[in-house]
Every structure is written in C-alpha cells, then in structure tokens.
Amino acid sequence: MLNDNHKFRLIPPEITPVLDPYFRPAVLANKEFKAKVEALKKPDRVRLAIEQESGSVFHFNLSVFPADHPEASGNFHYLERFLKFVLWSRGGYKIYFAGPQQLGKQLQQYYSQTATGKFDAAIMGNWIYEKPFEVMIVTLQDMMETDDFRAKKIFETIGTYLGYAVAHYADFYEIRNILILGRVTTGRGGSVIIGGAQAVLKREFPQLLEKIAFHIPSEKEKRHGQAIAAASLPLIPKLR
C-alpha cells in the first residue's frame, strides 16, 4: 500500500533521500497522473476558481479520468491535493467547480464533513477571511443565467452545429418538425441553440426554414429526452 494513496498512485523517486526510504514526491505522482490522462482521447475537464475577499479570482484548468475509467478513483485525491496546495499558497474562501457533478459533490462533502477538510475550511474561511468557506458547483446553465459571454458563445456554437446538421439530414429525410430535448437545452441556453440553428437555415437554407418548425418542451420534459424519444418510437410487430 506504500505506493497507493486513496487509489492515487505514488511514485518512488529515482534518487531516494538516505534518511527517508519511504519518500514519495507529490510532483512525481502528479506527473504520472497527468501523463496518463493526457494520453486519453476524451478526458473529463475540470475548471476551478478560487476567490479571495478582494474579489481576486485564480482560475485553473485540469483534466481527469472519465468516470468509467479504471483509474478514475484517483481523480478526487488528485483534485483535493491540487486544491490543498492552491489554498495554502494563494489563499481563498470560495471554490468554484465546473466539471463532473460527482467530483464536485465529493469536494463539498470533504470540506464540510471530514476532519482534514473542515480544518482547511475553518482556517481559510473563519480565521483568515472571516467568511463562510464554500464549494460552489457551477454548471454551464448557471453561467448562462448570469449573462456570462463565454457560456453564450458555447450555446451559439452548438446552435450553429445544429443548423448545419439539420440541413444535412434534410438531404435524406423529409423533415417538418424538430423536437429539441436534452439537459443542454435547459434554461436560456435552449433558446440560444434554436436561434443559432435558425440563423444558419435563414442564411444558407431559407427554403428549409420555411417548412421546418422547431419545438421545445417544458423544462422538466427537456431533461428526459431519451425517455420521450423512446416512448415515441413506433411499435414494430414481431415477425412470425
């Protein structure tokens, strides 16, 4: 177990301190973790921000293993150690997290329920900044609700992709109605996506814009896109 810390692999150094044979440098563990993640075609992305009382915000972009990867269990310890260093080197009382929801919830639980996490939260929040220590999970939809221009650009880009995809499918299918579903369409972002798709059709395929109608359901129904699509499939009789 010496080379494994909460499923986060520790690497023996090539040069071992003569008085510390069990020394495992953090830099080597991080180096291997990042190398393995960067070798993946589609790693999960995590964006972190640390806010100070003055309003200063430090931003960090990291990559971790997808949840179904065999080494994903090391993700949390990697993030926690990263935040540990950042908090004690820069300071801050509020962490903003954008990434896999489960990792965000783990961080919230760590700083509110574990002895070591509560220690860091107390030092940074109550003692240094005299403010409640918080871990905020931020979604793209949350950013959109605050008129964040970066979030809007993402939804506009999705809309552009959708517009050209609709035109492409129209070469093969007779399309009259399109039902927009999925969590990405929740909130104001859904309207931006549709607007972007319609802008493409208006500019390049005006004949399609005249005959294709976009429909967007209620916020609750948007999130059950796969179920709604499955329920609307026609019944195919069994062959005898």
Q: Domain locations in the chain?
A: 41-138, 143-231
Q: How confident is the model at residue 1 (pLDDT cuts 50, 70, 90)?
A: very low
**Rounded distance between C-alpha atoms, residue 85 and residue 100, angstroms:** 21
Model confidence at 94: pLDDT above 70? yes
Q: How confident is the model at residue 21 (pLDDT cuts 50, 70, 90)?
A: very high
Q: Tell me what pLDDT residue 216 has.
A: 81
For residue 149, count CB atoms less than 10 angstroms from its CB and return exposed for 0-12, middle for 13-18, buried for 19 or more.
exposed
Count CB-CB contacts under 10 A for residue 198.
18
| Of residues 152 and 231, more confidently modeled | 152
User: Cα(38)–Cα(117) distance, rounded to whole angstroms?
Assistant: 28
Pair 184, 158: CB distance under 8 Å:
yes
What pairing do the DSSP bridges indicate for beta strands 57-64 and 94-98? unpaired
Query: Could you report the per-residue pLDDT of 98-139, keeping only the tens digit for each?
Result: 999 999 999 999 999 999 999 999 999 999 999 999 999 988
